[in-house]
Amino acid sequence: MQTVDISLVAVPADASQSILKNNQSSLKGDFTDSAELHLVLHDISGNPIKVSEGMEFVQSGTNVPYMKISAIDYSQNINGDYKATVTGDGEGIATLIPVLNGVHQAGLSTTIEFISAETRPMTGTVSVNGANLPTASFPSQGFTGAYYQLNNDNFAPGKTAADYSFSSSASWVGVDATGKVTFKNDGDSNTVIITAPPRSGGAIYQTVPPESRLV
């Protein structure tokens, strides 16, 4: 008797018959919020694609750190329906795609923005006289008319100074829309805080110079 190996090949999902959506387009990046991913996979004839393993949701493109995706819920797979829950403790926009046995399904994707409202220190650099110096240690002192530039590495990945608005806690230290900090006149012994809240969601960034005075 002759035997043959038979391989079962799943019918591909069709983009016009399938859908991926979420019930929350933005989440707090502190694991307190969650979103449900709902995937419906049908073939070109509208028949549900039924699987009981091998399905996953993965990030595409730039990864948002500290994001968690639950195990797939296969309970409605008879209808080609699959669900998972997403939470996170990072910041940024995550693009999620459905993958079955390593194959992206029907070109589907959905995005979720993780937003952190906490205040974070600026840990990048400032530009002064053509040199880049650590933000955390500069300036130790200054003089009227002196200035420095907050560089983009002080902010969230992928963000620039244009994504933030700036303010100074002292009238004698100014900061413009580009993140340029200027010593305008005589100062005092009070601490100066430069604050940069985001224009469209995310963490607030602050820098506190080690010594905020003029000489």
HSE at residue 155, side-chain half, CA atoms within 13 A, is 24
What is the location of CATH 2.60.40.10 in the chain? 19-115
pTM for the model: 0.56
Give tens-digit pLDDT for 129-159: 888 989 887 666 566 778 899 999 999 888 8
- What is the C-alpha to C-alpha distance for residues 74 and 6, in angstroms, rounded to an integer? 25
Pick the CATH number of 19-115 from 3.30.1490.100, 3.30.1330.10, 2.60.40.10, 1.10.150.120: 2.60.40.10
Tens place of pLDDT per residue across the chain (215 aa): 555 454 344 679 999 999 999 999 888 877 778 999 999 999 999 999 999 999 999 999 888 888 999 999 999 999 999 999 999 877 788 999 999 999 999 999 999 988 766 778 898 999 988 889 898 876 665 667 788 999 999 998 888 999 999 999 888 889 999 999 998 877 676 778 899 988 876 677 888 764 544 43
CATH node for 119-207: 2.60.40.1080
What is the location of CATH 2.60.40.1080 in the chain? 119-207
Strands (E), the chain: 19-22, 26-28, 35-40, 55-59, 67-69, 81-88, 92-100, 103-104, 110-115, 119-121, 125-128, 131-134, 147-150, 167-168, 173-175, 180-183, 194-196, 204-207
